[in-house]
Structure 1
Amino acid sequence: MREKYPGWYPKSAAEASALWDNAIFVPDANVLLHCLRHPAAVREELLRLFDALKESLWIPYQVGLEFHRNRLDVELGAQDAYDALIKDQEATIEKARERLRQLRAHPTISVPKELAALDMFSADFRSRMAASQAAHPTEDIAASVTRLTQLLDGRIGDKWKVEQLAALKKEGDDRYAKKVPPGYKDAKKDAGEFDKYGDLIIWKDMIGKAKAEKRPIIFISDDAKEDWWWIHKGRKLGPRPELIEEFQAGSDQDFHIYEFGQFLRFAAERFPEIKAGVDQVEKSLQDDVRARRKQSEAAEASVTRARARELEDERDHIVGLLSGAPGATMPAATADRSVLRARLSELNGELQSLSLTSSAPPEDQDDGGTPASQEA
């Protein structure tokens, strides 16, 4: 039965380990960007890992393209963080100052003393940020980019031709409509013409590489979306079963996927030169995961709030029309009160749905722990 449904049987520890002996290792763009965004000690350990994997390291052209598109965002974002943090901190401190100034009197709070304490804290923070900014490792990060590009020299797939991309777009739209993995979670991306097909391009290239080299692929990814992972009740069990089966059918080779933190632990058992630094690297990676999750949640919350305000404004307008509030005029197109009531019901339903969504806990709170299928 397992031969008929290979994707539905998570790999045992021995099976996952055996792949390492002959696999091609493919990091995604975000994994490569980790070599730039972390402290010096962590960057060094990551580069040592890629150096250890060098003979079996390879990336599709699309991975390199995404790395270069996002590299300056990572580098300049780190440089801009000092001024941004000072600005945010000053805004918060100023609110506290204003609240203190509004106290006409208080039994225990000394307004002048607390204002002076805030000024001292603010000055100290600015001083520390200025010192960190002066010590920013611009040259060291540039050196990391150079080392990484040298490691990948001659280990990058070919760029797709325009006619290949046009054919993929048609196939991608059909796959995404049917939610065939990978990539369908990017279907709503509104960027370049082919940006939403990036994961599908990478997938096709990995199948082609495995077939040409007659070697399995181990994909190392920070992408936690369901169009790559088999997720059951919040627990990652390994690659999507459909991916395993499509990969084997297209290349006659096996496919496996690791989160980067998890991959590091297994790599450390095989490459003693990186073992000592794994704990430090993993902690930095987990901190990054938590930070990215908070950024994502904040962005989603902002979109939800904006949408809720739009719906509430429309709802209030309809309520005014139905109640005959002064100044509320009913357009001829919506003169039918039953239509207005139906729309009001829709608005209330959508607002309730937004409220439930914003209060629901995240589905996957995994910080890089080991999925059941990959305890190799």
Structure 2
Amino acid sequence: MKSVLAEWYGPNDEEIGEFLANATIALDANVLLALYRVNDAQRKQVLDVLTRVSSRLWVPHQAALEYQRNRLGVAADQQKAHDAVASIASERVTEVLSTAVTTLTELCAEAVGEVRDREIRSAIEEQFTMTVSSLEAVLTERQLAMQNKFHELRRTHTIDFADARNADPIRAALDALITDDRVGEKPDAETLETRKKKAQTRIDAKIPPGYKDANKDDATGDCLIWFELLDHARKSTRPILFVTDDAKEDSYQRVRGQIVGPRVELRAEMANEAKQPYHQTTLDGFVRLANRHLKTAVPEDTIATLERSRVEANRAGREVRGRLRDIRMIMHPDGFMTPAGLVEVLGDGYRSGESLLISLTNPATIAALGVLIGDVVVVRIDKEGMYEILGPVLDVRTGEEREFTMPERCPACETPVVVSATPKGRPGWRCPNEECAPKRQRDQLED
């Protein structure tokens, strides 16, 4: 039966060893992007494993393109996560201290409320004062220690967004490892169009891989990579081991939630079309197999981090592309104003044609993202329906895009804008005209 239905028989441990030792090891974009989600030491460990098999590495052109398009967004996500941790130390701890001091002050008042003896009252108040002073000293000391530690963690384990834009060390390492001859050939326009039409036909028929992306503006990416894998296998004498963290059911076969290997249809198609054995695994699975069969020594905690990163990435919301038509000011009742991007969703898929108003927080955020008015931008829509601009699509810029500048006057009343601290202690742009608030509210209701 095995020779008749070979696609239903996954490789045994010995055959897995043959894949690790001899197969072309093809990498998906999400595997390259996973390097941004681990710390520096773990990243070096994964790169060392890839270096061990560097002569057999290969990246489909579509996967390399998707990596280049998405790396800045992933780097920005990691920086944002560390910024959120830092804000806990700088802001939330201060809030906890303020609340504790207020509560202790109220308790002190309650404790002495019925006490008439001045000496006893004074002694009680002194104890509360000493407690508040001790608490402030301890929390302030710990807050500073937390801030320093979090800053050090970010510096040593996260690629700064500015570095990723200008001198990305991860991309430099990958460029050294994945030389031009290890990247798939760029298809010409006619070939690409033919492949996309074929991919769409497969997606409509729910033929793996890629049909789970049917709601994306362009759902053909997974299929395009698969077509490149087939073409490469036809010209090669090696089996194909595809390492991908895209764990959707149109790529991997699952039994009770557990990944047990690639979809049977993929094994069958590779055997029929290219006459080559085929297997695929996740990055954490690949590193674990490398430890077993190539005698690498990546620690289990690194593999666990890769696994957690993969699971979280697969839970993320969808992404769409849109045109940043304008950056407008959102006026708040307290006079502060924040920039927000007016984005028109492109394509003919999810939310196509809708206009979204997405907060950009402040000019520093706009500068960090590198977006210009008129850019095509990538927008993430999370599972709660929240929107976030991840960054521009640089390769479709026309030169007609323009930079955003903060207005010098209030858009509602023309009063000169001032820079002052927000309630959270951050620099903010504010209209100082107290008479302007009703007009701001009315103008926004009319808009």
Higher helix share: 1
Secondary structure at the aligned position of 2:385 is classed as: helix
- 1:83 match: 83
**1:43–1:21 Cα change, 3 Å:** closer
User: Quick check: 1:159 aligned with 2:186?
Assistant: yes
User: Matches of residues 15-26 of structure 1 in structure 2 within 5 Å?
Assistant: 15-26=15-26
User: Quick check: 1:211 aligned with 2:234?
Assistant: yes
Q: Which has the higher contact order (CA 8 A, sep 6+)?
A: 1
- In the alignment, residue 176 of structure 1 is paired with which amino acid? I
Q: Is the 8 A contact 1:219 1:258 kept in 2?
A: yes
Q: Is the 8 A contact 2:20 2:290 kept in 1?
A: no
- 1:184 match: 211
Higher strand share: 2
**1:229–1:132 Cα change, 3 Å:** closer
- In the alignment, residue 74 of structure 2 is paired with which amino acid? V
**1:98–1:278 Cα change, 3 Å:** closer
Secondary structure at the aligned position of 1:261 is classed as: helix
- 1:326 match: none
- 1:242 match: 265
Range moving further from structure 2, 231-240 or 159-168: 159-168
- 2:11 match: 11
Q: How many residues align?
A: 298
- In the alignment, residue 22 of structure 2 is paired with which amino acid? N
**1:80–1:176 Cα change, 3 Å:** same
Unaligned runs of 5+ in 2: 112-127, 319-380, 387-447
- 2:355 match: none
Distance 2:154 2:260 in 1: 42
Q: Is the 8 A contact 1:268 1:278 kept in 2?
A: no
Distance 1:225 1:157 in 2: 24
Distance 1:163 1:69 in 2: 22
User: Matches of residues 121-270 of structure 1 in structure 2 within 5 Å?
Assistant: 121-133=142-154, 142-153=168-179, 154-190=181-217, 194=218, 196-270=219-293
How far off is 1:10 after superposition? Answer: 2.6
Secondary structure at the aligned position of 1:65 is classed as: helix
Deviations 1:347-366 (A, max 9, x none): xxxxxxxxxxxxxxxxxxxx
- TM-score (normalizing by structure 1): 0.68
Distance 1:293 1:62 in 2: 19
**1:291–1:98 Cα change, 3 Å:** farther
Question: Highest CA radius of gyration, 1 or 2?
Answer: 2
The percentage of counterpart residues that share the same residue type is 28
How far off is 1:93 after superposition? Answer: 4.2
Deviations 1:216-249 (A, max 9, x none): 1100111111011111221222111111111111
- 2:310 match: 289
Distance 1:266 1:135 in 2: 28
**1:137–1:180 Cα change, 3 Å:** closer
Unaligned runs of 5+ in 1: 305-376
Range moving further from structure 2, 252-261 or 98-107: 98-107
Distance 1:261 1:135 in 2: 22
**1:114–1:235 Cα change, 3 Å:** farther
Q: Is the 8 A contact 1:7 1:240 kept in 2?
A: no
Distance 2:195 2:183 in 1: 20
